[in-house]
Structure 1
Amino acid sequence: MANLTLTASNQALAWLFGLTATAPDGDLTIALVTANGTASAPGTEVAGGTYERQTLTVAAPTGGATSNAAEIVFAGMPACTVVGVEVWDSAGTPVRFWFGPTDDPRTVTAGDDVRFAAGELDFTLA
């Protein structure tokens, strides 16, 4: 996944050039989508079942890249096909920072779990 949102791109540039000290508000979370978004518009987030966004922790970056440091589990999914993931912060009005398709769509039936093994979600800037 190598897709920063426009908000994240602007914040990264502001930080890089010393215009602001910027960081996401609160924990970062992973959202699953059934239709991928763009740099300026979010995708269609999964809804139903006991689906809820999951907390994201990442490994220390090396070579301009990082990945999820721990397994991420979405339990009790509704019937759907997951085609991508998005990274959001936990602000009162959450901000989307990253988006991208999964390598392969994952079709799940009601009650299934969706799992991403540690290291499966890659985030690259290089």
Structure 2
Amino acid sequence: MSNTAENLMLDWIDGVGTPTRPTTPLKVALVTANGDDATAGTEVTGGSYARQSLTVAAASGGATSNSADLVFSGMPACTVVGVEVWDSAGTPVRLWYGALTASRTVNAADDFKLSAGELDLALT
């Protein structure tokens, strides 16, 4: 989770203030360089790339995953190394980030797919 999401979660659980729920739908972004807790990664640009809406299954055991395939069509030539999850606010807020298990090289105009269940979100 990003620092922003961690703070929202802690404030909600601890009853501090009135944290605002992220604006939905949540959007998945692909990155060519990973970020960290405080800094976003380098998002893919070009081709027909666009962030995709995320739907998730109900959480169990402190984790959930995407409940539908995420397909990014018409990608530019690049190497995808990670993903980020953002809300849909006018000024989007990054909530989750993480590296792929293995980087994936994509050719121009190809599709990039994360199958249902492949994007895991967990509180540890």
* Alignment TM-score, normalising by the size of structure 1: 0.95
Please name the residue that 1:14 is paired with: 11
- Secondary structure of the corresponding residue to residue 96 of structure 2: strand
Compare 82-91 and 21-30 and name the one that shifted more.
21-30
Report the secondary structure of 2:68's partner residue.
Answer: coil
Percent identity over the alignment is 61
Q: Kindly indicate whether residue 78 of structure 2 is the aligned counterpart of residue 80 of structure 1.
A: yes
For residues 48-80 of structure 1, what are the alpha-carbon distances to aligned partners after superposition, in whole Å with 9 as ceiling and x for unaligned? 000000000000000000000000000000000
TM-score, length basis structure 2: 0.97
Query: Residue 125 of structure 1 corresponds to which residue in structure 2?
Result: 123
- Aligned match of 1:89: 87
Give ranges in structure 1 of 5+ residues lacking alignment.
Answer: none
Mapped to 1, the partners of 2:37 and 2:6 lie a distance apart of 9
Residue ranges of structure 2 left out of the alignment (5+ in a row): none
Letter in 2 for 1:43: G
Deviations 1:69-102 (A, max 9, x none): 0000000000000000000000000000000000
SS of the equivalent of 1:9 reads helix
Number of residue equivalences: 123
Runs of 4+ that moved beyond 6 A: none
- What CA distance in whole angstroms lies between the structure 2 residues aligned with 1:57 and 1:118? 9
CA RMSD, Structure 1 to Structure 2 (Å): 0.7
State the alpha-carbon separation in 1 of the partners of residues 113 and 68 from structure 2.
11
Which letter does structure 2 place at the counterpart of 1:116?
L
